Amino acid sequence: MKVFVTALCSLLLFACGSSTAGETSDLRAVYRGGNGAFEMTLEYSAEGDLRAETTGQDWWLLRKSGVNYFVFPQEGGAAVLDSRIMSKLLSDVMPDDIPFDEEPRLEIVEVGETEINGRKGTGYRLVSAPFAGPLFLVMSNDESLARLGDAMLALSRSSFALSPTGGASFENVFEVMATGAPISYAGADLASLEMVELAPSVFELPSEPLDEAASRQLMIELGMIPHENIEFPNLED
């Protein structure tokens, strides 16, 4: 079960709030990592709608009017999954009694000042590897990046909304992210940031969300849920 939960969270990690008083501009930010192998474009409207798309990924995330949608381009047109229906379907296949106390927690610890692409910030590493490996998060307190901070926090919370605990195991990360704007996150650095006027069409759904039956079929095809309910062996026998 832990493997299933971890895989689901990994799938959703970069897929998606609040707003800063006095700032109404839309924004477009690009994060890159893995020596250019990873690139995510994040677009965020003045109203708090959000779109996140990753190069080479066969789906993208749209947060519109406070609801998260996952869009999967297909030959016959894009299929749209409503996260509220996805959550129900995920819950339906889960056993009544999950045989572990809680979802594995992701903890980070501050390690000092650093610089990312000319921007200064405070670095954080995973508690499990506090002295080695890449930084997991670098936070900037630059007020000019406040809207980016709102966007990335909304993205991160949305990304983990489907996990069994609703992202509670990542609260340590969310708390740190609420203090500023991430100029590096999970191995991807902020490469560019523009305050732009985005067309309303950027945040329009390409088609009506699938109903529950069609959503279930697509999620099974994509390996997001099994055909049958998850069962665990009785270890007391």
Helix (H) or strand (E) holding 148, with range, is helix 146-159
3-state SS string over 60-75? EEEEECCEEEEEECCC
Handedness of CA 188, 189, 194, 195 (dihedral sign): positive
pLDDT for residue 8 is more than 50: no
CB 157 within 8 A of CB 167: yes
Handedness of CA 185, 144, 46, 169 (dihedral sign): positive
Question: What number of other Cβ atoms are within 10 A of residue 60's Cβ?
Answer: 19
Condensed to tens digits (0 to 9), the pLDDT of residues 132-142 reads 778 999 999 99
pLDDT for residue 52 is more than 90: yes
For 213, the token pair is 């039956």
Condensed to tens digits (0 to 9), the pLDDT of residues 57-105 reads 889 999 999 999 999 998 888 999 999 999 899 888 876 655 545 556 7
Amino acid at 27: L
**Residue 203 DSSP SS3:** helix
Of the two residues 65 and 168, the one the predictor is more confident about is 65
Of the two residues 172 and 18, the one the predictor is more confident about is 172
pLDDT at site 91? 84
Of the two residues 104 and 123, the one the predictor is more confident about is 123
Segments making up each domain of the chain, as ranges: 2-16+24-221
Closest CA relative to residue 86, chosen from 60, 98, 68, 63? 68
The rounded distance, in Å, linking the Cα atoms of 132 and 58 is: 32
pLDDT for residue 22 is more than 90: no
Band (127; pLDDT cuts 50, 70, 90): confident
The rounded distance, in Å, linking the Cα atoms of 72 and 143 is: 35
Closest CA relative to residue 113, chosen from 136, 133, 138? 138
pLDDT at site 138? 98
User: Which residues does residue 120 pair with via DSSP β-bridges, in sequence order?
Assistant: 115
Band (2; pLDDT cuts 50, 70, 90): very low
Question: What number of other Cβ atoms are within 10 A of residue 182's Cβ?
Answer: 30
